[in-house]
Structures are given as C-alpha cells and as structure tokens.
Amino acid sequence: MSIYYNEVARTFTLHTKHTSYQMKVGPSNYLFHLYYGPSMTDPDLDYQIMQYDRGFSGNPYEYRNKRTFSLDALPQEFTTLQQGDFRISSIEISNSDGSYSFNGHFKDYTITKGKYKLDTLPSSFATDRDTVDSLEITLEDEISKIEVTLLYGVFEEADIITRAVKVRNNGNGRIHLKKIMSTCLDFVNGSDLEIVNLHGRYGQERNFERQRLTHHIHTISSGRGSSSHQQNPFVMLCKENTTEDAGDCYGATLVYSGNFLAEVELDQYNQARLLMGINSKQFNFILNPKDVFEAPEVLMTFTDLGFTSLSHTYHDFFRQNMCESKFVHGERPILINTWEATFFDFDDTKLIEIAKAAKNMGVELMVMDDGWFGDRMDDNAGLGDWVVNKKKIRCGLNELVKQINDIGLKFGIWFEPEMVSEDSDLYRAHPDWAMQIPGRPAVRSRNQLVLDLTRKDVQDYLIESVNAVLDSANIYYMKWDVNRSVTDIFSNELPPEQQGEVYHRYILGLYRILDGIVKTHPDILFEGCSGGGGRYDPGMLTYFPQYWNSDNTKPIDNLKLHYGTSFLYPICTMGAHVSEANPNISITTKACVAMCGTFGYELDATKLSKKEIAECRRQSRLFKKYRPIIFEGDYYRLTNPFHPGNLSAWQSVSKDKKESLISVVVTNLTVNGPQEYILAKGLNPDWFYYVDQLDMEISGSALMHIGIPIPREIPEYTSFQYHLKHKRKSNK
Ligand code: DGJ
C-alpha cells in the first residue's frame, strides 16, 4: 500500500517512488496539509506549524479564547469558507438559507486498491503495470450537511498523485455551488517560489513563461468555454534556482477541456497556496438534496531534479495512463493534410492527384480537411451538415476512399462537430440548437455559431451523423476541429436559474459525444484540433492520442512551440507538419522541426519538384526509422529558444539509452563567431556511441561534456540530425 493512516498521529501519508505527501486531521478535525516533496518517513510533520495571534485573522468560534488558532495562517488540504481564512478558497457555496459558508471537518476515510473513477468526467487509469491506491477523505459541514469528498490516486512508480473532489448536498434545501477547486496545495514558506505557465494566442500557443511569486494572486485561466490558446491548464511552481537538470519543482495540470482556473497566492506571511479547478466565471451549479457534483481531476507531481525530470514524469504518464487508444503506442502513419494545399478549393480529381504525388514522398495517410460536406465552398456555410458535398466529391466518399486506398494510402477526414453555420440545413431545421441569448443576436466568430451541447438531442444528432460518415467508408483517421470560443452562454432547455451550469454542461455533453464517437471506433486514429492547438489539454488527450499543435507551421516559430509544449505533453501527441510557410527555409530543416512531433506534410504535393519529392522520400524513410525513439523515448530540451542564442537543439533518447537522435537548427550565424557545441543528455557515460554524421564512435561522457561541434561555414537555418547508436562499453 502506498497510503498509510497513522491512527496515533492522525496523519495520512501517501508515497510514490520518489515523493511523499502528508496531511493531518488536526484540532477540531480540520484537515491540514503538512508536506509534499522528496520521500520521507516522518509519521507526523506538524512540528513545522507555528501559531501566533495574527491580528485581523479570525478564530473559529471554539478558539475564541485561543487567539493563536486561525485558519488564515494554517496550511489546509481543502479550505473552508467564511471561517477566518481570507486567502483564495477551494469552494464557494451559497447555502439554502442564502449564506456563504462552508466549515468542513474530517468525517471519515477509505483506502482502496486500484484507481478511483469519476462518473461524469474523464480521468487517468491504472494499467496492469501500475501499483495504484486510492484514498477518499470526507469532510462535512455539520450545519449545512454539505459533504466534500477528496479523492486521491497514488501512482507509485509514475510519481503522480491525482486529486479530484466530489460535493454532495446532504441537506434539505437547494444549494448553489459557485466555485470548486480540485486541488489545494499549501506551502508554509513560499517566499522563494516561482511560477511557470504556458501562455499564447492563436498561431502562437504554449509559450514558456516564468516569474517570481509576488504578494498577490496570480491567475492562470480560461473563460473562453475551452481550455484555450491563451493559457494551458498547467502550472509549475519551482525554486529560483531550479533548472532543467536540478531543483525543486511541482506540477499541476487539469484533466478538463473547459473554463479552468489556477490561482497562486503569496500571502501576507509568505505562505503560498496553489488552487486548480473549474473557472468560477458564470459558474453557478445547483445541487438539490442528494445531488453530487464532480470536479475534474488534477495530475500532480514533484521532483527535485528539475524541469526535465518533471516533463519525463508527465510524458510517461500521458503515454501510459491517460488515453486508451491503441494508437498511443501503435504506429502512426506519416500523413499529408489537404488544408494548406487547397483550402476549400478541391474536388475528388485534385485529391487523387495529391494522393499519387504523396505516395511517392513516402506518405502513408491522406487527410481530406475542411470543405468536403454540405454546401461548404468557404467558411460561411455548411457546418452541421455532415453529408458529402456531391459537387466536390462526385464519385462519393466510399469510392474516393477506395481509390486512395488503391494508390496505397490510408484515408482520413476532418469534422467540426460542435459548430453550426447559419447557412446550413441543420440550422434551418433547428435554429434553437445554436447557443443564443433570447432577444440578442449571437456573437459570430468565423461566421459560425456554437451548438448547444448541453442538449441530449444535439448530442445524439452529432453522434449519429458523424458515426454514419465514419462507418460509410474505410476511414482510418479523423481530425476533430473546433474553430471558435464559446459565447452567448444560454441553453433553451434549461430554466433561468440553471444558466450558470451551461459552460460545464457543454463540456459534459462534449465528453458524452466523444464517448459515442471516439470510444466506439477503436480502430480509428483521432487527432484533436482547435484552430491549431487551442484546446490541447489533458482532458482531450484522454480521447485523442495526438493534437494539432498550431495553425502556424513556420519552422522557426515552431521551435518555441515545441519547446513550451514539451514541458507537459509528450512529443507523440504533437501534430507537426512540413508546409509551404517560410519559403526561404529548406524543406530539410522544416522536416527536422516537424520530426519533433507526429510528422506529416501540409502542402500541395503535386507542386513539388522531383528533387523535393526525393528529399521527402528520404525524410519519410528517416522518420520511420526514428519514430520509435521520438515517440517512446525520453525527450530533452538542449537549448531554450526563448533565450538569445544561435542554435536550437533537442534530443530523444530510447529508454534503454542505446539509441538517440539529436536535432539542431542554426537560427542565427554570428559573423566570425565562436565555435558552438551541443551537449547531449541522458546517455550512458560509459558507453560508446556511433554518431552517423561524424562517422565515428564517441563516448556518452564526451558527448555530454564536450558535446558535438556544430559546423559554422553553412547557410543560416541549416539543420542537423545526429543519430547515435550504442556500440560498446568503454575500455576502462
Ligand atoms: C483550423 C485547423 O487548425 C486547420 O488545420 C484546418 O483544419 C482549418 N481549421 C479548417 O477549417
């Protein structure tokens, strides 16, 4: 068992391979957080808690004569509300009498073998290889009878602790849940902490940003109805001296695809508190007596070995415990996508031409992107009508797929299920299926409206119509796109008092649709997309083994994109393509960058020269060779593209350390500059590796401490890929 309850000290201690986590049932049965960090065996770490009479920090009633006891200055596992703790809170509830109060005291607990499950939301799972235990702790407010159950999943080998929360209304009246955070992590001393987040925008997703905690509330959130391009549901807290290779860092990421909130407060006494959960923006969920609300899961980890170690933990977890698709570890074909090749201007003849040319490039899968359905000649019409456009695909879908298969390619197709165009048969038949606030014209974005996924009839229509297409031909792959943020939050099906549930119910509806489409097609490879990487989050990655990184396919911009994304997500999830963007950069360098991802092409293959086709063939051959190391190996960031420098480099190392691929792009050539070296990581220092580009054997130690000299007499944006293969042990 990795979870222990010490009856004398009344502490719960959770152990993973390298970390421990401790909490304690303290005075008055309040649940205190004592520790999260490197493994330790102390049964009770409450010696750290010092108590003083802190002016203006309230004392719960029973401590009125002991003014040193204030929840405002005590580390908690899940906060109270209106009990004298003025920091950011885990919960905001309006009780049936209208009061805002929650005073949760420990009630009971259960420890079980295996991983708990959530009923309404996706969550991580244990495989046969994992030892996982679960803990449930129930807190109760004795007056309102509201129960909060804290769920913990301890993945011992993986060094991951998951948390989720259930709120149950055991009272007699209706309550309003206005805020619910899935995790709360308190630090008695947060004075030297820094916060890292991944921010961005359309076309520039997941930029790495690091800053010192200062005395205010740092908020990382999305209120766009989806997890968004602008912020990813992921934060790290680290020490000032934490680097890639050393130092403390904590990670937290939310398995949820809607509005999220991460808050970090550094308070008046330099205590820090991290909260993560559903964004309370327009969130007001009614719980009638006996109703239960589930808040999404958070994946937490800690390491004292720096960012690389934290990333490896998450990468392994995403590859092992999040997505059940057979494609997570299965072969993912090299694809060509039609979008940047033709946009809406294609027909079956053009697709066949592209397929023939692509086959010569070594491509394995052809994806027909937006524009094949309804009356879709541009982006003003057709969304919602998931029937083939006979003006473009004259031979019919089944025949088109057969012809592409005959060329030797698998076939993939694009959908945007959640949206509707006003100029569509669907909208004409069901205008009330689009989200609009009565009496107000709805906000347009890409001239489309958002379907009301809270409705069961809408969910059923989407499941049926998308499945009908998927089952009508030999479809190998589906790209699930979503191209606008959600506004006009209103559902015709819900009464006025429940409109505050719409954001969350939208996501619950989305997950039900995904269950009905993705889970019923285990042989189809699904790729998520949201105008690029706008909803690239752990919730989506429970369904999709890969996600389109960005609509920005410029290779130099993508160096930053891959760098930032790699802090949380493994390379095998990152959709990356070679495109026509940046004509001044060679197709070789573009491929080198796109191999930091699922690798494919997004261009008109019929326009490539013979030389370029031959180069693509070479790239495809290489990628097939490197794919196992890139997808299954450990990933190392060798440079930081956000810092000034002339080289951008990254590396994949097979788990057994016998093979590695180092990729380098020369982003700048300083005139008469110094010789630069790229230091490898993660190799066995005692082994010799054959380095193909240097045609020699070099020890792991030399590769990691002297490095590889990068040639200087070359054009800017030249790239290098060094393949390392273990040859022999050193002679020492
Ligand atoms: C946005 C996606 O990111 C693109 O790849 C493409 O599929 C377009 N949508 C199609 O509308």
263 Cβ inside 6 Å of ligand 1 = no
Adjacent-strand bridge partners of 140 = 105, 147
End-to-end CA distance of the chain: 43
Q: Ligand 1 centre from 481 Cα, in Å?
A: 7
d(CA 565, CA 47): 40
Token pair of 566 as six digits: 């790699």
HEC per residue, 616-669: HHHHHHHHHHHHHHHHHCEEEECCCCCCCCCEEEEEEECCCCCEEEEEEEECCC
What local confidence, expressed as pLDDT, does residue 731 receive? 64
Which among 229, 370, 536 is the best mutation to test ligand 1's pocket, defined by most ligand atoms within 8 Å of the CB? 370
Query: Is the beta carbon of 141 within 6 A of some atom in ligand 1?
Result: no
Q: What is the pLDDT of residue 421?
A: 98
Using CA atoms, how far apart are residues 115 and 124, in angstroms rounded to an integer? 8
- Ranges under pLDDT 70 in the chain: 730-732
Q: Ligand 1 pocket: which of 416, 481, 561 to mutate (most atoms <8 Å of CB)? A: 481
- Coil, helix or strand for 232? strand
Give residue 644's pLDDT. Answer: 86
> What is the Cα–Cα distance from 267 to 272, expressed in whole angstroms?
6
592 sits in which H/E element: helix 587-594
Query: Does the beta carbon of 372 lie inside 6 Å of ligand 1?
Result: no
Interatomic CA distance for residues 363 and 351, integer angstroms? 14
Q: Are strands 477-480 and 410-415 parallel, antiparallel or unpaired?
A: parallel
Report yes or no: 606 and 353 within 8 Å, Cβ to Cβ: yes
Cβ(77) – ligand 1 distance below 6 Å: no
- String of DSSP letters for 294-319: EEEEEEEEEESBHHHHHHHHHHHHHH
Q: Is the CB of 529 under 6 A from ligand 1?
A: yes
Give the tokens for residue 331.
């072969």
Cα separation, 154 vs 140, whole angstroms: 23
Count CB-CB contacts under 10 A for residue 727.
Answer: 14
Least Cα distance to 312 among 245, 370, 260, 391 occurs for: 245
d(CA 386, CA 471): 13
Q: How far apart are CA 445 and CA 416, in angstroms?
A: 14
Say yes or no: CB of residue 527 within 6 Å of ligand 1. Answer: no
In whole angstroms, give the CA distance from residue 533 to residue 558.
12
Distance from residue 73's CA to the centre of ligand 1 (Å): 49
Beta carbon of 531 within 6 Å of any ligand 1 atom: yes
pTM, whole model, 2 decimals?
0.98
Q: Tell me how far apart the alpha carbons of residues 723 and 465 are, in angstroms, rounded to a whole number.
A: 46
**Separation of CA 93 and ligand 1 centre (Å):** 40
Residue with tokens 């070679």: 578
The answer, yes or no, to whether any atom of ligand 1 lies below 6 A from the CB of 548, is yes
Beta-carbon count within 10 A of 480 CB: 25
Q: How far is the CA of 370 from the centre of ligand 1 (A)?
A: 7
13, 6 Cβ separation under 8 angstroms:
yes
Structure tokens at 145: 């009878």
- Give the integer Cα–Cα distance in Å for 473 and 477: 11
Clarify whether 537 is annotated catalytic. yes
CA distance 461 to 603: 33
What is the spatial distance between Cα 732 and Cα 730, in angstroms, rounded to a whole number? 6
> How far is Cα 139 from Cα 121, in angstroms, rounded to an integer?
22
Ligand 1 centroid to residue 367 C-alpha, Å:
12
Taking a C-beta distance cutoff of 8 angstroms, is the pair 561, 555 a contact? no
Q: Strand locations in 519-583, DSSP E?
A: 525-528, 546-548, 574-575, 577-579
Instruction: Pick the catalytic residue from 44, 425, 612, 697.
Output: 612
pLDDT attached to residue 256 = 98
DSSP for 261-299 reads EEEEEE-TTS-EEEEEEE--TT--EEE-TT-EEEEEEEE
Q: Which one is catalytic: 370, 422, 537, 676?
A: 537
Catalytic residue list contains 304: no
Helix axis angle, 348-361 relative to 610-632, nearest 10°? 70
Looking at ligand 1, which atom is closest to the CA of residue 479? 7
Radius of gyration of the chain (CA): 27
Ligand 1 near 532 CB (within 6 A): yes
How far does residue 423's CA lie from ligand 1's centre (Å)? 19
